[in-house]
Amino acid sequence: MVSYILKRFLSLIPTLFVVSLVVFLVVFLIPGGPATAILGMEATAEELAALNAELGFDRPFLEQYASWLGGVFQGDWGQSYFLDMSVLEAIGEYFGPTLSLAIYAELVSLILAIPMGIIAAYKRGSLVDTAAVSVSLVGIALPGFLLSMFLMLLFSVKLKWLPVAGYRELSEGFGQFIRYLTLPALSLGLVQAAYITRMTRSSMLDVLYMNYIRTVRAKGQKEGIVVLVYGLKNAAPTILTVIGQSFGSLITGTIVTESIFNIPGLGSLTMSAINRRDVFVIQGVVLFVTLLYVVVNLVVDLLYGVVDPRIQLGRND
- Residue numbers of the site for other proteins (CB under 8 A)? 30-33, 36-48, 51, 54-55, 81-85, 90, 94, 108, 111-112, 115, 118-119, 122, 149, 152-153, 155-157, 160-167, 175-176, 178-179, 182, 186, 223-224, 259-262, 264, 268-269, 272, 275-277
Q: Whole-angstrom Cα distance, residue 231 to residue 240?
A: 14
Q: How far is CA 61 from the centre of its chain?
A: 31
Q: Whole-angstrom Cα distance, residue 120 to residue 193?
A: 14
Q: Is the Cβ of residue 145 or residue 209 nearer to other proteins in the bound state?
A: 145
- Do residues 303 and 240 touch, judged by C-beta distance below 8 A? yes
CB of 121 to other proteins, least distance (A): 12
CB of 230 to other proteins, least distance (A): 16
Q: Is the Cβ of residue 205 or residue 302 nearer to other proteins in the bound state?
A: 205
Cα–Cα distance list, 40 to 33, 34, 199, 276, 313 (Å): 12, 10, 49, 11, 54
Q: Is the Cβ of residue 90 or residue 188 nearer to other proteins in the bound state?
A: 90
CB of 130 to other proteins, least distance (A): 18
CB of 128 to other proteins, least distance (A): 10
Q: Is the Cβ of residue 42 or residue 317 nearer to other proteins in the bound state?
A: 42
Q: Whole-angstrom Cα distance, residue 276 to residue 268?
A: 12
Residue 79: DSSP 8-state: B
Q: Is the Cβ of residue 9 or residue 174 nearer to other proteins in the bound state?
A: 174
CB of 7 to other proteins, least distance (A): 38
Residue 206 CA neighbour count, 13 Å, CB half: 13
Contacts by 304-310 with C-beta closer than 8 Å and gap 24+?
304/237, 304/240, 307/233, 307/236, 307/237, 307/240, 308/233, 308/234, 308/236, 308/237
Is the sign of the CA dihedral 272, 278, 282, 288 positive or negative? Answer: negative
Q: Is the Cβ of residue 182 or residue 252 nearer to other proteins in the bound state?
A: 182
CB of 285 to other proteins, least distance (A): 13
